[in-house]
Each structure stands twice: as structure tokens, then as C-alpha cells.
Amino acid sequence: MSSKRVLDFIIIGAQKSGTTSLFRYLETHPQIYMPPEKEIPYFSDPARLAKGWDWYLDEFFGEAPADQLWGTSTPHYMTFPGVAGQIKRVLPNVKLIALLRHPIDRAYSQFRMAVRRGYETRTFEQAVDELLKPEVLQEARESPGGTNTYLTLGEYGRILATFYEHFAPEQITVFFASELENQPATVSKSIFEFLGVRADFVPPNLGAAYHRGGTRRRLPWADYRRLKGVGFLDPLRAIWRGLVPLRNRKLFWYWLEQWNVVPDKGKETVTAAVRRRLGEHFEADGQTLSALTGRAIPWAFHEQD
């Protein structure tokens, strides 16, 4: 058990914005330790909160070298209100990394994932019609969950404003998914400089993509979310849990889920009419984001038919 009781940095999100790729690049750095499982939320997980911070560190960082920087990648932290304040109370000096994707593309990617997992039966246009209702937007901001967050999770200005309220600007760095995709070496170097580790290190997997997009599965039943509710599998689950450590089980399900996605043929699109409506929704928030970060956003909301 290490005497170190803090995390040095957290990738806070956003969901469906390339955080898995960034996590895989950073974990190769010799001065950085990240647990094998990507998403191990603490501040947004009531069960882990109840067990306490010391339990969390011992569970996921018990074997981590104290002389390395410790970090996690947890896009949940840009989902739930109040998380920024909780992080501040426990980790006042932590550094935060946000990776942001065009909010319309991000929303559509989340929608496709929900379709693939069997949670969504609406068309994207039908979902947008419902989710743009003021009362639905407000509920999604206050009580996010399920399929009500396609739009509100892309309100980056609103979300990051709560982090800037609690943390100094020099503790937060923001990049865009298009930058990581097109200039991975530049982005990784900038993040290494931000973290204070060797910036000349080049991740051996730089440029690799770690998430497939698609709405279908090779094996529809191969999903731990569904299998955990099947009673006759309880004896097999008990054996599985007894023989395989938790982090290895999580890695297994992660790689199975990646393999199980059937890539959609052709380029996925959102109709111009839906893009216009969503552009109107996100435009003011984009201005807030730009003011917060001092950066021009690299996407346009107004596109031609």
C-alpha cells in the first residue's frame, strides 16, 4: 500500500469524444500510472463514495509506484452536477483534462451507442424532437441518465463553468477531438507539458483509434449489462468472480465490447434540418465555452443543405 493519497490528474471527459484513445496514449508514458480499466468513477459513484477515498486508492492504485503521476479517465465527471465541488474537496491540486467533440456529432455517436445496446428505439430526429423540449432539457441537466443526455452532455460551456468555479484556470486544459485525431503528437506533447512529465516521449500507439462506431452487434447477447440479470448464470458468475480479479474482468468486457461492434457501412450523417436545429441550441453554449477557455471552437453550427 502506497502512502500517496491523491490523484495527480483526471481526464474528465467528454463522453464519446476520444477519451479512450487519450487514456491509451497517456498510460504508455513511463512517468504516468493509470489503472488498466479506463472508467473507474469515484465522485459520481455512490457505492464507491460510501466505501471511502482510501478504499478507492487501495483498490485501484494499491500497486502504483508512488514516484509516478497517478491519473484516471472518467467521462462521467462531465455528466453529473456537483462533481466538480466533490473533486475539489478531496483533490484541491489535481489537474483536469477535457477533450471535446463537435456537440452534434457527439450526440449522434451517443445515440448510436444507445441503439446498439438496445436502449433506444426512436430515430435520431424523434429523439431530438423530444430532448429539445425545455422541461426535458432541464430534467436532463439536473438528473442525467439513460437516453436523456444526448444534447445536455454537449453543453460544454455550461458544464465546464462549474469546474472553472472550483479550480484555477492553470489546473484545467481543454483540447478538441479533431486536434487529437489530426495532430496526436502535438496534443500529447502539450498534455505531457501540462502534467510536468517528459514532453519528448512519443506514445508507441500514437494515432491508434480505440472505439468503433456502429448500431449493431456481432453477438447481441454478449453484454454484461444484460447477462448480469440472468439468474441461471449466477453459479458461473460466482466462479468467474472468484478466479478472475476485478480489473481483469473489466478489461475482458471492454475488449469484447469493442470487438462486438459491427461498423456501419458508409458515412453516418445527421440531416441538415436536424443540424440546423441543434446548431441553434448549441450556439450560445459554444460562445460560453470559447470565453471560458480563450479558444475558438473548431466546429461550425451552420451548414449548407
pLDDT in tens, 22-45: 999 999 999 999 998 888 999 999
Query: For position 287, what pLDDT does the model report?
Result: 96
- CATH classification for the domain delimited by 9-214+271-293, as one of 3.30.450.20, 3.40.50.300, 3.40.50.720, 2.40.30.10: 3.40.50.300
Compare 305 and 266 and report the one with higher pLDDT: 266
Q: State the amino acid at position 245 in one-letter form.
A: P
Per the rule left: phi > 0, alpha: psi between -120 and 50, beta: everything else, 304 is: beta
Query: For position 146, what pLDDT does the model report?
Result: 80
Interior CA angle at 80 toward 75 and 82, to 5°? Answer: 120
What is d(CA 47, CA 55) in angstroms, rounded to the nearest whole number? 11
Task: Sketch the domain layout of the chain as residue ranges.
Answer: 9-214+271-293, 216-263
Query: For position 221, what pLDDT does the model report?
Result: 53
Tell me the pLDDT of the chain averaged across its residues: 87
Nearest-10 crossing angle of helices 234-243, 246-260? 120
Query: For position 305, what pLDDT does the model report?
Result: 38
Query: For position 243, what pLDDT does the model report?
Result: 67
Reply yes or no on whether the pLDDT at 304 is more than 50. Answer: no
Give CA 258 to chain center in angstroms: 15
What is d(CA 186, CA 190) in angstroms, rounded to the nearest whole number? 6
Nearest-10 crossing angle of helices 19-26, 184-195? 60
Q: Which cell numbers hold the place of 209?
A: 483509434
Query: For position 94, what pLDDT does the model report?
Result: 98
What is d(CA 249, CA 242) in angstroms, rounded to the nearest whole number? 11
DSSP state letter for 149: -
* pLDDT digit string, tens, across residues 163-222: 999 999 999 999 999 999 999 999 999 999 999 999 999 999 998 876 655 555 555 655
* pLDDT digit string, tens, across residues 33-76: 999 888 899 999 999 999 999 999 999 999 899 999 999 999 98
148-160 mean pLDDT: 97
Compare 210 and 3 and report the one with higher pLDDT: 3
Query: For position 145, what pLDDT does the model report?
Result: 84
Query: For position 37, what pLDDT does the model report?
Result: 81
**Among the listed ranges 35-39, 81-85, 147-151, 254-258, which one has the minimum average pLDDT value?**
254-258
Q: Percent of the chain, pLDDT > 70?
A: 79
Reply yes or no on whether the pLDDT at 276 is more than 90. Answer: yes
2-12 mean pLDDT: 93
* pLDDT digit string, tens, across residues 222-258: 565 555 555 555 666 666 566 667 666 666 666 566 6
Q: Percent of the chain, pLDDT > 90?
A: 70
